[in-house]
């Protein structure tokens, strides 16, 4: 009992010298506000369900949509009556933002979940073989165990890798030109880059087919040809995003470099590009993400193959989009299942590439580098 | 003109940058080095497009002295400062007449490339702008890397420049942290150290303290007082007390009216400009009666 009194006395009159400041906890959720939210939702669902049942309607989507609209209206009215119009507007605006984010997130999550549900059983039940084997023994009548994605994985990695190798230097040079040199010609270049962004991917495939695959008819389609088509797809995307990134490098840094007696090319190489490094990596990731999933340009140019082909320069090569395309349209149930497995492999591959690129892009000179310290609160002056 | 190097490093250490691709230096060409240079502007007029912003400015910035440029906003002080190391050329519509001579060599003439001019006439900006992609030590050495100069004992040079900029004590144990992890005042001193590393003979400062608190300002003024023995300093400031505290000579810029070009009303020793001005407008301005 006495100890309780002591603590009470201490908290009532704390000694300023020994008092420890503690941050306030997070504001407690207002149970009244939560009640209003949940209550409005339940009331709306119940009312709409009642109407649908009485009217004999059976439409789950319509029920959901009507409930949602009813909920928003009801919630707004409740807040208005209880707390006034200003509060109601604030709550409704918050609700709209959350709803919008939720609605935007739904299709994204749905795709990932659907691919997982369809593909995971195939990948898990034939785990090592589905990644290591190729499709040479698989056929419509064969079981899933005969199938493997290795040829497609190798093809995708080689084709996208080559395309990245070709497009990234050109794109970064072009972005540098557009942003650092300028002049009348940059208007022309920008227009061309913009119209390239809108080029249908099948045109890129057709272009490379006529330029490279068809004239060398004896050589035929190859992984290299596919990488050329993918380069065309990647170039404008990487260029435009790299340009945006270079544009936000502060002009004061360029001035500082020039005032130190730097020629322009060294200023770009040593100051502008390193400052924009993290953003440039993001630009490259955007380009890779676009290229990995492209089907139309590689259909013409890589041709697809059931056997493993390590050489991107000779012979037809498979890749994941082609493989998925062929399997999903195959007449056998097993083929379709393999296709879903392939889709999951593609999603996982993209994820791996993203993580890798992030690590390479921001972590190489770890610790003291740009992103970690750029936004850390400034330290006090030590005069 | 002999080049004195504090570290006793080979004297051609910076000569290689000065001659970078330009062949042997011509007679009378000012080498980069550790002695302050005389900077002389003669009849400088400047335009942005068709708008004339400076009217026949003639001003001598004496070696080893601090020259302050004062005057109201928009009267062309910063423009004049940027003309001194050709930074105003970054604005495409800028045009110029008159001449700027560095120890008798026209910086707009054929003897000096623009990069060589800027190597000799360094600049510190209004807002601290260390390179965020570099560490503190790399920031100090940035000018050498950017001008393609080899440096033998980089660690000594980093220490020397940070000491001269009054930043060594605070940063000696964190040289490998990012330059932007410093406070604003420290960043500005880092920018001064960065300018000093290429051994300029003139240092231009464009309101270097306007973004800083009084304590950091005091530290930077102390730095300026120490530096002026090695390098000629030209400083733009809106702070009359600062001009009185740090400068030996002073030039007052004024406009005659809206849209008119700026010109020098009075230039001379700071004590004279502040205590015994010849022009009544100077007296009014420095005592805060207008502007």
- Tell me: pLDDT of A364 over 50: no
**C-beta atoms of B146 and A267 within 8 A:** yes
Chain position carrying tokens 């994985």: A153
Return the H-helix or E-strand segment holding B47: strand B39-48
Interface-testing mutation among A256, A272, A362, with chain B (most B C-beta atoms within 10 A): A256
pLDDT at residue B204 in the model:
94
| B131 touching A (Cβ < 8 Å) | yes
Provide the 10 A C-beta neighbour count for residue B245.
Answer: 18
The answer to whether the CB atoms of B147 and A262 lie below 8 A apart is: yes
DSSP A127-145: HHHHHH--STT--TTS-GG
Query: Is A229 within 8 Å of A236 (Cβ atoms)?
Result: no
Residue A5 — pLDDT band, cuts 50, 70, 90? very low
Contacts of A181 in chain B (CB under 8 A): none
Give the C-alpha separation, B109 to B96, whole Å: 13
What is the rounded CA–CA span in Å between residue B89 and residue B93?
Answer: 8
B131–A252 C-beta distance less than 8 A:
no
Please state the rounded mean pLDDT for residues B5-34.
41
pLDDT tens, residue by residue, B96-152: 999 999 998 999 988 888 999 999 999 999 999 999 999 999 999 999 999 888 888
Nearest to B219 among A250, A267, A383 (CB): A383
pLDDT at A212 over 90: no
> In chain A, which residue's Cα lies nearest the Cα of B87?
A259
Judged against a pLDDT cut of 70, whether residue A253 lies above it is answered with: yes
Q: How far is A166 from chain B (nearest CA, A)?
A: 26
Q: What is the tens place of the pLDDT at every residue in A44-95?
A: 999 999 999 998 888 888 899 999 999 999 999 999 999 999 999 999 999 9
Q: Which chain B residues are Cβ-neighbours of A376 within 8 angstroms?
A: 181
Contacts of A370 in chain B (CB under 8 A): 132-133, 178
Q: Which residues are CB-contacts of A96 (< 8 A; sequence separation ≥ 6)? A: none
- The CATH number of whichever domain residue B112 belongs to comes to 3.40.50.300
Helix B154-164 crosses helix B136-146 at what angle (to 10 degrees)?
110
Task: Find tokens 């208005």 and name the residue.
Answer: A80
* pLDDT in the model for residue B28: 40
Q: Which residues of A touch B123 (CB under 8 A)?
A: 259
A28 compared with B219, residue with greater pLDDT: B219
> Are residues B43 and B97 in contact, defined by beta-carbon separation less than 8 angstroms?
yes
**Chain A closest-CA separation from residue B53 CA (Å):** 21
Assess if residue B145 is contained within a domain.
no
Mean pLDDT across B194-200: 91
Kindly state whether residue B89 falls inside one of the protein's structural domains. Answer: yes
Contact A382 B118 (CB under 8 A): no
Domain total in chain B:
1
Q: Chain B window 55-84: which residues touch A at a Cβ cutoff of 8 Å?
A: none
Q: Which residues of A touch B182 (CB under 8 A)?
A: 378-379
Q: Is the dihedral of CA B132, B133, B135, B136 positive or negative?
A: negative
Crossing angle for the helix pair A31-55 and A60-83, to the nearest 10 degrees: 140
From the list A262, A267, A368, the residue facing B177 with the nearest CB is A368
Edge-to-edge strand order for the sheet containing B121-124? B105-106, B94-102, B39-48, B51-61, B262-269, B249-255, B66-70, B232-236, B202-206, B121-124
Using CB atoms, which residue from A261, A373, A382 is nearest to B147? Answer: A261
Identity of the residue in B115, B131, B184 whose CB atom sits nearest the CB atom of A253: B131
B76 lies in some domain: yes
For chains A and B, CB pairs below 8 A equal 118
Residue A372: the pLDDT is 35
Subunit contact B143:A250, Cβ cutoff 8 A: no
Domain membership of residue B180 (yes or no) is: no
pLDDT at A1: 43
Question: B138 at the A interface (CB within 8 A)?
Answer: no
> HSE on the CB side for A174, CA within 13 Å?
23
Q: Which domains does chain A have, with CATH numbers?
A: 31-123 (no CATH), 144-363 (1.10.3720.10)
> Is B228 inside any structural domain?
yes
Position B48 pLDDT exceeds 60:
yes
CA neighbours within 13 Å on the CB side: how many for A321? 22
Structural domain contains residue B18: no
Q: Indicate if the pLDDT at residue A161 is higher than 90.
A: yes
- B35 contacts chain A (CB < 8 A): no
Q: What is the pLDDT of residue A218?
A: 61
> Which of B116, B145, B170 is facing A382, going by the closest CB pair?
B170
Of B122, B145, B176, the CB nearest to A368: B176
Give the distance from residue A376's alpha carbon to the nearest chain B alpha carbon, in angstroms. Answer: 7
State percent of chain B over pLDDT 90: 47
Is B125 close to A250, i.e. CB distance below 8 A?
Answer: no
Residue B227 CB contacts under 8 Å (≥ 6 apart), including other chains: B164, B192, B196, B203, B233
In a domain, B22, yes or no: no
Range of the domain at B276: 35-131+204-286
- B13-26 pLDDT, tens per residue? 333 333 333 333 43
Report yes or no: B145 at the A interface, CB cutoff 8 Å: yes
Query: Under an 8 A CB cutoff, do A274 and B134 touch?
Result: yes
Instruction: Mutate one of B133, B200, B222 to test the A interface: name it (highest A CB count within 10 A).
Output: B133
Quote the pLDDT of residue A334: 86
Interface test with B, best of A180, A246, A260 (most B CBs within 10 A): A260
d(CA B156, CA B73): 40
- Residue A180: closest C-alpha in chain B: B90
Q: Is B16 on the interface with A (CB under 8 A)?
A: no
Give chain B's largest Cα–Cα span: 54
Residues of A in contact with B116 (CB under 8 A): 261
Provide ipTM, 2 decimals: 0.84
* Contact criterion met (CB < 8 Å) for A255 and B177: no
Count of CB atoms situated within 10 Å of the CB of A44: 20
Q: How far is B157 from chain A (nearest CA, A)?
A: 16
pLDDT band at B211 (very low <50, low <70, confident <90, very high): confident
Q: Which of B128, B129, B190 to mutate to test the interface with A (most CBs of A within 10 A)?
A: B129
Angle (CA) B216-B188-B18 rounded to 5° is 140
In a domain, B222, yes or no: yes
| H-run or E-run covering A351 | helix A333-363
């Amino acid at each position: 009992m006495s100890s309780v009194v002591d603590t009470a006395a201490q908290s009532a009159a704390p000694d300023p010298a020994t008092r420890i400041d503690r941050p306030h906890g997070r504001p407690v959720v207002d149970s009244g506000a939560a009640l209003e939210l949940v209550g409005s939702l339940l009331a709306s669902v119940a009312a709409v369900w009642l109407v649908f049942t009485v009217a004999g309607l059976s439409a789950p989507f319509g029920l959901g949509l009507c409930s949602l609209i009813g909920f928003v209206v009801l919630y707004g009215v409740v807040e208005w009556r209880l707390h006034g119009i200003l509060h109601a507007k604030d709550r409704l605006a918050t609700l709209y933002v959350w709803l919008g984010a939720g609605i935007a997130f739904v299709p994204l999550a749905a795709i990932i979940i659907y691919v997982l549900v369809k593909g995971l059983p195939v990948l898990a039940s034939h785990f090592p073989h589905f990644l290591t084997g190729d499709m040479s023994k698989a056929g419509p009548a064969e079981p899933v165990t005969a199938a493997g994605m290795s040829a497609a994985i190798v093809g995708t990695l080689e084709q996208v890798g080559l395309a990245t190798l070709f497009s990234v230097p050109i794109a970064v040079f072009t972005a540098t030109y557009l942003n650092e040199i300028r002049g009348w010609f940059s208007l022309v270049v920008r227009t061309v880059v913009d119209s390239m962004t809108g080029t249908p991917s099948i045109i890129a495939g057709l272009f490379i087919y006529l330029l490279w695959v068809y004239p060398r008819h004896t050589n035929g389609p190859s992984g290299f040809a596919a990488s050329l088509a993918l380069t065309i797809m990647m170039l404008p995307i990487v260029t435009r995003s790299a340009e945006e990134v270079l544009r936000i490098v502060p002009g004061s840094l360029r001035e500082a470099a020039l005032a130190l007696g730097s020629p322009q090319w060294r200023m770009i190489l040593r100051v502008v590009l390193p400052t924009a490094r993290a953003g440039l990596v993001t630009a490259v990731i955007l380009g890779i993400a676009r290229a990995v999933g492209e089907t139309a340009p590689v259909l013409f140019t890589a041709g697809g193959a059931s056997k493993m082909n390590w050489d991107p320069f000779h012979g037809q090569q498979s890749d994941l989009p082609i493989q998925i395309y062929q399997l999903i349209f195959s007449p056998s149930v097993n083929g379709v299942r393999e296709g879903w497995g392939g889709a999951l492999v593609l999603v996982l591959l993209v994820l791996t590439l993203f993580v890798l690129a992030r690590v390479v892009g921001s972590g190489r000179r770890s610790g003291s580098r740009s992103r970690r310290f750029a936004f850390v609160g400034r330290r006090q002056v030590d005069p | 003109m002999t080049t004195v190097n504090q570290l006793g490093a080979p004297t051609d250490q910076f000569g290689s940058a000065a001659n970078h691709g330009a062949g042997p230096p011509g007679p009378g060409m000012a080498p980069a080095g550790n002695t302050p240079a005389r900077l002389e502007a003669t009849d400088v007029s400047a335009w942005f497009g068709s708008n004339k912003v400076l009217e026949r400015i003639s001003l001598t910035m004496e070696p080893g002295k601090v020259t302050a440029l004062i005057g109201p906003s928009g009267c062309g002080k910063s423009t004049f400062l940027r003309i001194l190391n050709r930074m105003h050329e970054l604005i495409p519509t800028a045009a110029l007449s008159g001449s700027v001579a560095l120890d008798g060599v026209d910086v707009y003439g054929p003897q000096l490339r623009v990069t060589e001019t800027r190597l000799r006439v360094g600049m510190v900006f209004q807002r601290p702008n260390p390179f965020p992609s570099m560490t503190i030590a790399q920031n100090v050495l940035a000018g050498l890397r950017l001008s393609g100069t080899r440096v033998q004992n980089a660690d000594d040079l980093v220490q020397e420049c940070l000491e001269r900029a009054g930043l060594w004590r605070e940063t000696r144990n964190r040289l490998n942290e990012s330059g932007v992890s410093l406070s604003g005042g420290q960043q500005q001193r880092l920018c001064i150290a960065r300018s000093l590393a290429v051994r300029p003979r003139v240092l231009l400062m464009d309101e270097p303290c306007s973004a800083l608190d009084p304590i950091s300002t005091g530290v930077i003024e102390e730095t300026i007082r120490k530096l002026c023995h090695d390098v000629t300093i030209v400083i733009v400031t809106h702070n009359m007390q600062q001009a009185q505290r740090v400068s030996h000579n002073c030039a007052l810029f004024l406009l005659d009216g809206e849209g008119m070009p700026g010109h020098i009303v009075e230039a001379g020793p700071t004590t004279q400009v502040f205590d015994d001005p010849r022009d009544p407008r100077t007296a009014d301005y420095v005592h805060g009666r207008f502007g």
